[in-house]
Amino acid sequence: MLNTLRGNIIEAQLVNHTKYLASEVLEELTGVSTGYKRHGGLTVTENPDMMEEFQRELAIASYTGNTGAMVSPDQCKDLFPHLNVSGLLGGLYCETDGSVDPTGLTQAYVKGATQGGVELFEGCPVEDIIVEDGKVAGIQTSKGFIKTGKVVLAAGAWSQRLGAMAGVTIPLLASEHSYIVSDIIPDLGVVPNLRVPDDAIYTKIQNQTLFWEPSKQTQHFGNLSLGSPLDYLISTWMLTCLI
């Protein structure tokens, strides 16, 4: 899912730039498809306070160069015909949101980086981050030591463990959750990603099926091991910010 309307300026700028890269830049630059599909993003609510939050997100969207619009319950129904709009006060819609293929997007990033001179080492886990006098001095990997004064930590669910190697506390944990996949819906059509913050759920289209997923289903947290990436596939996890 690629939903870019946020209540925080920094987050909004980051996700909007991601959308720009995925939809306009990476495929042309690298020849690798990101799988970007523009079918919109819709967030709906029955809560008056959330309607105020939508107005804030819309203002931030305008400030960051994104698009968006407040929509009525009837317009929500037009955008998502399968939606029960009884009790809804309205929603927030961004027509340029949609979805990407995670594998394709990753491969496009990799090819773009290597075209720019980045060296990529696969199967080379980080064993330690060396800090001297309060500054990063290098990283120890399974294939040797790399001397560097800068480390960009973008390890997702593993970031907390790697940050601890450098004495940095990162307030992220992996939270187990599950999702429901519908049967094929022949008349599904093209519908936007749908988020319902009142019930902490969202749904997305996948070909002719719908995926429903709770965003706050469980308090079962845990740290993922730094072992084989296959460990990650045993169950589905999401990052939960504890700030």
Q: Which structure tokens are listed for 242?
A: 């504890």
**Confidence band, pLDDT 50/70/90 cuts, at residue 236:** very low
pLDDT value of position 154: 85
Q: Is the pLDDT of residue 180 over 80?
A: yes
pLDDT value of position 242: 39
Contacts 24+ apart (CB under 8 A), 220-228: 220/175, 220/176, 221/173, 221/174, 221/175, 221/176, 222/173, 222/174, 222/176, 223/160, 223/161, 223/173, 223/174, 224/157, 224/158, 224/161, 224/174, 226/125, 226/126, 226/158, 226/161, 226/162
pLDDT value of position 59: 95
Q: What is the pTM of this model?
A: 0.78
Average pLDDT, the chain: 85
> Residues 98-104: what's their mean pLDDT?
91
> Residues 41-56: what's their mean pLDDT?
96
pLDDT value of position 226: 54
Q: Is the pLDDT of residue 235 over 50?
A: no
Q: What is the pLDDT of residues 189-219, one digit of tens each?
A: 888 999 999 988 888 887 788 888 876 655 5
Q: Is the pLDDT of residue 97 over 90?
A: yes
- High-pLDDT (> 70) share of the chain, %: 87
Residue 12 φ/ψ region, left for φ over 0, alpha for ψ in the -120 to 50 degree band, beta for the rest: alpha
Higher-pLDDT residue of 228, 146 = 146
Q: What is the pLDDT of residues 116-144, one digit of tens each?
A: 999 998 889 999 999 999 999 999 999 99
